[in-house]
Amino acid sequence: METFALVVSIYLLFGVPLAIGGGLAWLFARTRIRLRIADWLLFLLPFAVWLGATAIHDGNKSLSNIVEAFFAGCATALFFVARSVITVAKPQQEARWASFALLGSCLAAIALWALVPGLPE
């Protein structure tokens, strides 16, 4: 139960910046874009990739490295904003841009996990 509570609290670090940034982007472009499955997966998949990478091999990382989840949420929000802006300009390729945003945010989560060194507690 403690592990579940920890994962939920870490997810909040990921989800809050994503909800704020993505929500604002969607409010501005909601009449011109349709949310795809890839857009909904942005709320879960990059976090799951980052959490899985951390669980498989945490190296010398400490609990202070959960700040990576916050930056992964910010990066995911930026990918959704970029997807929204590009979709408004080129609406015929909306599904492709949504998939690229999902792929980019998962790669950003892996890059954060791999490139951020272990932080002292």
Write out the chain's pLDDT in tens, 121 residues: 788 999 999 999 999 999 999 999 999 998 999 999 999 999 999 999 999 998 898 778 888 888 999 999 999 999 999 999 999 998 888 999 999 999 999 999 999 999 988 888 7
pLDDT score recorded for residue 118: 82
Cα(34)–Cα(60) distance, integer angstroms: 42
pLDDT score for 64: 83
DSSP labels for 39-71?
HHHTTTHHHHHHHHHHHH--TT--GGGGHHHHH
Q: Which two tokens stand for residue 67?
A: 């700040």
The structure tokens listed for 70 are 């916050």
Nearest to residue 79, comparing CAs of 95, 99, 65? 99
The pLDDT value given to residue 79? 97
> Which residue shows structure tokens 């809050």?
16
Q: CA–CA separation, 14 vs 71, rounded Å? A: 7
Residue 91's pLDDT is what? 86
How much is the pLDDT for 106? 97
> What is the signed CA dihedral for 30, 44, 112, 93, rounded to 10 degrees?
-40
46 closest CA partner among 91, 109, 118, 1 = 109
